[in-house]
Amino acid sequence: MKQPSSFVEILEFLVAPEQQMAFIAADKKIWTAGLAAYPAFDRKEVWLSSEQPDLVICVIYWHDRSGWKEINSQDLLELNAAFDRAFPYPYQLVKEKEYQKI
């Protein structure tokens, strides 16, 4: 049985409201599926801001930080390229944060 999540990664993206559902679908197909192959990955949630209509927030739960940070950078580049092919619209990563559960 896997241990409970100990770390959370929060990514905030600016995405035009009319393209957010396509962004979320591509994110699930590419990023969530890709990250799920790694043992440190637990789960992912996507949230929309009720205060800022162009904000998409991804909350990624990790079992351990070392497993998360050991993901090969080439794999991340390939996932990012696949995502950009699947979602050809403008978007911008505006904030990255990580938190540890105590």
Residue listed under structure tokens 């930080």: 65
Q: What digits encode the pLDDT tens for the residues 41-94?
A: 999 999 999 999 999 999 999 999 999 999 999 999 999 999 999 999 999 999
- For the cut 80, the answer to whether the pLDDT of residue 2 exceeds it is no
Q: Kindly state whether residue 69 falls inside one of the protein's structural domains.
A: yes
**How far apart are the C-alpha atoms of 57 and 25, rounded to whole Å?**
14
- Helix ranges (H only) for the chain are 20-27, 33-35, 65-69, 73-86
Q: pLDDT tier at 1 (50, 70, 90 boundaries)? A: low
Domain membership of residue 34 (yes or no) is yes
2 within some domain: no
Tell me the pLDDT band of 5, cut-offs 50, 70 and 90: confident
Query: Could you give the number of structural domains in the chain?
Result: 1
Angstrom CA distances, 28 to 87, 100, 102, stand at 11, 24, 28
Judge whether 1 lies within some domain: no
Assigned domain for 94 exists: yes
Q: What is the pLDDT of residue 29?
A: 98
**What would the mean pLDDT of 21-26 be, rounded to a whole number?**
98
In this predicted model, what pLDDT tens digit does every residue of 51-65 receive, in sequence order? 999 999 999 999 999
CATH number, domain with residue 61 = 3.30.70.100
User: From CA 87, how far away is CA 19, in angstroms rounded?
Assistant: 9
For residue 41, give its domain range.
7-100
